[in-house]
A and B are shown apart, each in its own frame.
Chain A
């Protein structure tokens, strides 16, 4: 069963060719949460969910603002999200598991007040970052989604809140 938990979300990748919780095995570099093998490509999924916190609901206003400030900052994309992508690549290369097929890097951002204009901008920025300085010989691209968009685009990988 390829059913994994991240934050307060459960992902069911049973129909995929295979799926692993990557950050459970890669303890050397920053890494994405899941690697899902779709036969013709890999989905690398990173989940950032401000609601999946142990902070009580009444104190989430401050946490929400802090999270918004964090994801709006330039280093969050160039360091954190890109770092998880390159860290995953490095780990796979070191363990002789070189990527040989297309990679779609999915950053799943659960954030309030991110409308489609901001999500499009975030997608453009992350896409540029993962393609920058590209030395690999296969296609890479990135998208930024929220949970509703994930469920609409990938209904074959059901999710639910725990």
Chain B
């Protein structure tokens, strides 16, 4: 399996929920699991903000990607225990090169330091938990003109979806075909609005089931050339509004992309996604799982390459509880 430049490590000190946490990423698929509020999305967003910055040809505003991605007016809200006069540090590596920035709380509302020079990164793709494909018309102009409750990831995904389609997708044509068969058709765009073209006709995307819109999003990103070898995909809760029956194909698509050289980050609460990955992936796929555990001293991070050993796993714990209560109800006996 060919390896492309990718996020290798991340360390978060006094950043949002993290007191001091380190990650070593797989070049293929990285899965973040944890209770609500443990910082899964924050991990993906900080990587996305840094990659967004270093994928630009000219770096003009260091703070803008961070503020936009986290949808905040000042970076000091990202500092953990900011009333205790601490500094937040975020550092990571990409292709052996280190990046690092610091956030400090000041009277002016936060300060920010980050190196201006860095090897160019590929343009990242972030699919937010809420669907955007059904809301593309005039979204970019509205976002740019007015203060609305969407963050930079929402704007960026719409911009990527509305980008001109490649004449021929350079990579993953079989994956596009697989997604077409799941959709029962293909995506079309006209005047910033998407449609699903099937044998029955053309349906405006807002009328298409939201779960299918997620699949259409994936298809459009591949066709537009944003999920090619060397790309990085961040996908927040892929399971939202998607029927679990589709998950085996979606995980199949994710594994195909990863095998082609796309680095993938997933934050999920879905047992079905985790189990599909466990069943479909081989050791060569190098899927890595991260358990984010809430503790009194911030979120602790545990990582493993074997789903069976992922601890703590709140999804599995909930099934343990359900199974136990079912057995008590059926047998009339508690565990002894």
Closest to A152 in B: B335
With A113-B308, A154-B333, A155-B336 already in contact, the answer to whether A149 and B327 are too (CB < 8 A) is yes
- Any A CB within 8 A of the CB of B316: yes
Q: Would A119 and B323 count as touching, CB distance under 8 A?
A: yes
The answer to whether B319 touches A123 (Cβ under 8 A) is no
Assuming the contacts A115-B316, A141-B330, asked whether A120 and B323 have C-beta atoms less than 8 A apart, the reply is yes
Q: Which residues of B contact A154 (CB under 8 A)?
A: 331, 333
A-B contact pairs, 14 of them (CB 8 A): A115-B319, A116-B316, A117-B271, A120-B323, A123-B323, A142-B330, A143-B326, A143-B327, A143-B331, A149-B335, A152-B335, A152-B336, A153-B333, A153-B336
Query: How many Å from the CB of A72 to the closest CB on chain B?
Result: 10
Q: Across the interface, which residues of B come within 8 angstroms of A152, CB to CB? A: 335-336
Residue among B271, B308, B331 having the largest count of chain A Cβ atoms under 10 Å: B331
Supply 14 further A-B pairs (C-beta < 8 A) apart from A143-B326, A155-B336.
A104-B331, A113-B308, A117-B271, A117-B319, A119-B323, A120-B319, A120-B323, A123-B327, A123-B330, A124-B326, A141-B330, A143-B330, A149-B327, A153-B335
B320 at the interface (CB under 8 A from A): yes
Q: Which residues on B sit within 8 Å (CB–CB) of A120?
A: 319, 322-323, 326
A142 to B334, CA, bound (A): 16
Once the chains bind, are B326 and A117 in contact (CB under 8 Å)?
no
| Cβ B319 vs Cβ A116 within 8 A | yes
> Counting CB contacts under 8 A, is A127 at the interface?
yes
Q: How many residues does chain A have at the interface if contact means C-beta atoms less than 8 Å apart? A: 20
Q: Mark A133-148, 1 if CB is under 8 A from B, else 0.
A: 0000000011101000
**Chain B interface mostly helix, strand, loop or mixed?**
helix
Interface of chain B residues 298 through 336 with chain A (CB within 8 A): 308, 316, 319-320, 322-324, 326-327, 330-331, 333-336
- List residues of A whose CB falls within 8 A of some B CB: 104, 106, 113, 115-117, 119-120, 123-124, 127, 141-143, 145, 149, 152-155
> How far apart are the CA atoms of A123 and B324 in the complex, in Å?
11
Number of A-B contacts (CB under 8 A): 48
Interface size class of B (residues with CB under 8 A): 10 to 19
A155's nearest neighbour on chain B, judged by CB, is B336
Q: List residues of chain B with CB under 8 Å of any chain A CB.
A: 271, 275, 308, 316, 319-320, 322-324, 326-327, 330-331, 333-336
For the complex formed, measure the closest distance between the CB of A24 and the CB atoms of chain B, giving whole angstroms.
25
Most A-side CB within 10 Å, residue of B316, B324, B327: B327
Least CB separation from A38: chain B residue: B332
Query: Which residues from chain B contact A142 at a C-beta distance below 8 Å?
Result: 330
Given known A-B contacts A127-B330, A142-B330, A116 and B323 have beta carbons under 8 A apart: yes
Given A152-B335, A152-B336, A155-B336, also A117-B316 (CB < 8 A):
yes
Residue from B320, B333, B335, B336 in contact with A116 in the complex, judged by beta carbons closer than 8 Å? B320
Q: Report the bound CA distance from A48 to B163 in whole Å.
A: 56
Alpha-carbon distance between A69 and B95 when the two chains are bound, in angstroms = 42
Contact call A123/B326, Cβ cutoff below 8 A: yes
| Closest CB in chain A relative to B15 CB, distance in Å | 33
Asked if B331 and A153 make an inter-chain contact with CB atoms under 8 angstroms apart, the answer reads yes
Task: Report whether A117 and B331 are in contact in the complex, using a CB–CB cutoff of 8 Å.
Answer: no
Measured between alpha carbons, how far is A87 from B319 in the docked complex, in Å? 32
Q: Which residues of B contact A127 (CB under 8 A)?
A: 330
State in angstroms the CA–CA spacing of A115 and B335 once bound together.
Answer: 17
**Nearest CB of A to B329, in Å:** 9
Q: Which residues of A contact B271 (CB under 8 A)?
A: 117
Q: Closest CB of chain B to A144's CB: distance in Å?
A: 9
Assembly CA distance A137 to B271 (angstroms): 38
Enumerate chain B residues within 8 angstroms of A117, measured Cβ to Cβ.
271, 275, 316, 319, 323
